[in-house]
């Protein structure tokens, strides 16, 4: 039973990854988007290094958020349209495992590239060098929660009209604590203070969304199919 | 015995026509009760309570601001309970009631935000301060709007109500965390500013108008909820026989 | 009758905002109900007219 579930999830994950690699350009679009946001900020507020380094923690995170938002609309939509989503709910009912597999591939496509390229973004925004480690740690802990809560918003709006606008309205309140804890940690580190408390809360928030969001996603997906 | 009659009463109320009749009879009384208690509460707030020694008469905004904030949060609690019942037992009436809560909660959150801003202008010198409570009320407003938007985005009302109920519960889990995080963020970034409703001990004379306003907002919620739920029921059942009997015969 | 208040404009605006929003919560369901009933009556009248034409 458990074996067949992992099997179903692994098959889905392999398929998603294969697709992501086949459309590599498309998969990397969120990353390019992130950098357009990061270039726009100095153009908007001026290139003064002091101002930029104060804003950097928030800006890198907001850019990461916007980048992950881009791919959300298509998280479950293609499966709904070609009918494969319905198959998730027949047979072994490996819904939970499949949801986790899909979220993992979403994170690998949107979250991981942001983490990998965050040193570059941090440098462009003049983030103090000693805060870089904290920025990376906060992204590693926090971006999975971004995928989880984004997945929840995507599953809720799956079969609605005007899903993309609604999706961004729904996701904003859900991720308020995430943004506060994550940028708080980086700001603390930038001010040479201990970011431990912020990072701990961030981890707690991610664990909480890891336990609850998939349940909500599975329920919302089923209701959308009814 | 009492339990049994209560159960029968509950089942009867669960059917659409009897709820419709119940709401039609009860809602005017609740509106009346709201008008009386609000009038008395506002009379106390404006005439009886002495002005605050620090804030002058602007402190009288408290009697709108605080009851609205409390009621907006209380409505979220009620809505969450209704959403849980709706998801577990699939009772249509609780779906309708939960969905009818959202616009009322949003309205009171808006009252809280606008009065907070109006109070903030003379106290802080700006219309908007990133005060912890105002900020979390703003997030609450977004959650309410999200619920209303999600419900409205489905053609199938019952499906929309159930999916919005999932969002309501997700919001209920998140609201305490949001509140805590915003408070924390605020203390780290700002230090102490003047708080609108302070930790300073409340003068005993402030309590009666506050209590009356709290009661009146509760009655207001009940009345508005029944009115909205009644409309929703009418809309969903527009082709049912009982609606024809209720509506067409009384109005023609 | 009307009490003299400091910051009077802020206090009165707050109270009227409360009044307006509460009033809107009272009026809006009335308007919606009227629209609903009207549309139902209209549909009923059409149905009757169709039946008469058939006969």
pLDDT tens across A34-57, in order? 888 888 888 888 888 788 888 888
Is residue B24 one of the residues assigned to a domain?
no
Is residue B233 one of the residues assigned to a domain?
no
pTM: 0.91
- Could C33 and B107 be called an inter-chain contact, meaning their C-beta atoms sit closer than 8 Å? no
Residue A213 with chain B: CB contacts under 8 Å:
170
Q: Quick check: A32 and A107 in contact, CB under 8 A?
A: no
Instruction: Tell me what pLDDT residue A27 has.
Output: 80
* Interface predicted TM-score (ipTM) of this complex, two decimals: 0.90
Task: Tell which residue, A88, A81, A226, has the closest CA to residue B87.
Answer: A226
- pLDDT tier, B252 (very low <50, low <70, confident <90, very high otherwise): very low
- pLDDT tier, B194 (very low <50, low <70, confident <90, very high otherwise): low
Residue C33 with chain B: CB contacts under 8 Å:
227, 230-231, 234
Is residue B87 one of the residues assigned to a domain?
yes
Which residue is closest to B88 within chain A, CA to CA? Answer: A219
Residue stretches of chain A with pLDDT short of 70 = 1-2, 91-93
Residue B64 with chain C: CB contacts under 8 Å:
14-15, 17-18
Mean pLDDT of B146-157: 93
Distance between CA A187 and CA A194 in Å, rounded? Answer: 10
Is residue B111 less than 8 Å (CB to CB) from chain A?
A: no
B–C touching, 3+ CB–CB pairs within 8 Å: yes
Look at B65 and A162; give whichever has higher pLDDT. Answer: B65
User: What's the structural domain count of chain B?
Assistant: 1
Residues in chain A: 226
Is residue B154 one of the residues assigned to a domain?
yes
Tokens of B118: 């109006």
Is residue B201 less than 8 Å (CB to CB) from chain C?
A: no
Q: Quick check: B1 and B183 in contact, CB under 8 A?
A: no
Chain B interface, best mutation among C13, C25, C48, by max B CB count within 10 A: C25
Please tell me whether residue B52 adopts helix, strand or coil conformation. strand
Is residue B150 one of the residues assigned to a domain?
yes
Mean pLDDT of B28-47: 94
Is residue B134 one of the residues assigned to a domain?
yes
Using a 10 angstrom Cβ sphere, with 0-12 exposed, 13-18 middle and 19 or more buried, the burial of residue A49 is exposed
Chain C interface, best mutation among B29, B42, B50, B64, by max C CB count within 10 A: B64
Query: B-C interface: how many C-beta pairs under 8 angstroms?
Result: 91
Model confidence pLDDT, tens digit, residues A136-178: 999 999 999 999 999 999 999 998 887 788 998 999 999 999 9
The segment with the largest mean pLDDT, out of A68-77, B209-218, B231-240, is: B209-218
Distance between CA A57 and CA C41 in Å, rounded? Answer: 60
Is residue B235 one of the residues assigned to a domain?
no
Mean pLDDT of B1-29: 82
Summary mean pLDDT of chain C: 88
Mean pLDDT of B20-27: 90
Q: B191: domain range?
A: 30-228
Instruction: Tell me what pLDDT residue A163 has.
Output: 78
Q: Quick check: B27 and B226 in contact, CB under 8 A?
A: yes
β-strand partners of B56: B52
Is residue B58 one of the residues assigned to a domain?
yes
Distance between CA A75 and CA A63 in Å, rounded? Answer: 19
């Amino acid at each position: 039973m458990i074996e067949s579930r992992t099997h179903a999830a692994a098959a889905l994950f392999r398929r998603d990854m294969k697709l992501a690699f086949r459309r590599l350009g498309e998969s990397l679009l969120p990353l390019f988007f992130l950098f357009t946001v990061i270039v726009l900020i100095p153009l908007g507020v001026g290139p003064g290094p002091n101002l930029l380094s104060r804003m950097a923690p928030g800006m890198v995170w907001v850019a990461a958020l916007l980048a992950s938002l881009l791919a959300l609309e298509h998280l479950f939509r293609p499966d709904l349209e070609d009918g494969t989503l319905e198959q998730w709910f027949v047979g072994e009912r490996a819904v939970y495992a499949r949801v986790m597999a899909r979220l993992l591939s979403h994170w690998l496509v949107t979250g991981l590239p942001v983490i990998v390229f965050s040193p570059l973004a941090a440098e462009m925004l003049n983030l103090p060098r000693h805060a870089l480690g904290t920025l990376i740690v906060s992204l590693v802990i926090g971006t999975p929660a971004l995928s989880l809560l984004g997945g929840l918003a995507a599953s809720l709006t799956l079969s609605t009209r005007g899903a993309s606008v609604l999706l961004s309205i729904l996701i904003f309140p859900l991720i308020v604590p995430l943004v506060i804890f994550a940028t708080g940690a980086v700001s603390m580190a930038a001010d040479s203070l201990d970011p431990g408390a912020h990072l701990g809360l961030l981890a707690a928030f991610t664990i909480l969304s890891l336990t609850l969001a998939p349940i909500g996603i599975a329920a919302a997906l089923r209701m959308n199919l009814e | 015995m009492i339990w049994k009659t209560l159960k029968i009463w509950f089942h009867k109320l669960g059917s659409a026509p009897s709820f419709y009749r119940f709401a039609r009879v009860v809602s005017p009384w609740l509106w009346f009760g709201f008008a009386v208690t609000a009038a008395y509460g506002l009379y106390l707030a404006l005439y009886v309570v002495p002005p605050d020694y620090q804030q002058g008469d602007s402190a009288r905004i408290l009697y709108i601001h605080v009851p609205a904030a409390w009621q907006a949060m209380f409505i979220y609690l009620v809505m969450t309970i209704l959403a849980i019942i709706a998801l577990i037992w699939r009772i249509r009436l609780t779906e309708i009631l939960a969905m009818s809560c959202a616009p009322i909660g949003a309205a009171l959150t808006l009252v809280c935000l606008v009065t907070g801003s109006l109070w903030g202008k003379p106290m802080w010198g700006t219309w908007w301060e990133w005060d912890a409570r105002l900020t979390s009320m703003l997030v609450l407003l977004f959650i309410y709007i999200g619920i209303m938007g999600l419900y409205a985005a489905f053609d199938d009302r019952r499906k929309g109500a159930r999916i919005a109920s999932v969002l309501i519960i997700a919001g209920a889990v998140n609201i305490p965390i949001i509140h805590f995080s915003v408070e924390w963020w605020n203390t780290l970034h700002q230090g102490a500013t003047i708080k609108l409703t302070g930790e300073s001990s409340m003068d005993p004379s402030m309590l009666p108008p506050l209590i009356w306003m709290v009661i009146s907002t509760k009655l207001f919620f009940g009345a508005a909820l029944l009115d909205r739920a009644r409309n929703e029921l009418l809309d969903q059942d527009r082709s049912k026989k009982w609606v024809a009997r209720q509506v067409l015969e009384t109005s023609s | 009758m009307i009490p003299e208040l400091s910051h009077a404009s802020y206090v009165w605006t707050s109270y009227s905002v409360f009044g307006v929003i509460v009033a809107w919560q009272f009026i809006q369901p009335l308007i919606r109900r009227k629209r609903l009933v009207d549309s139902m009556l209209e549909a009923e009248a059409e149905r009757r007219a169709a039946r008469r034409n058939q006969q």
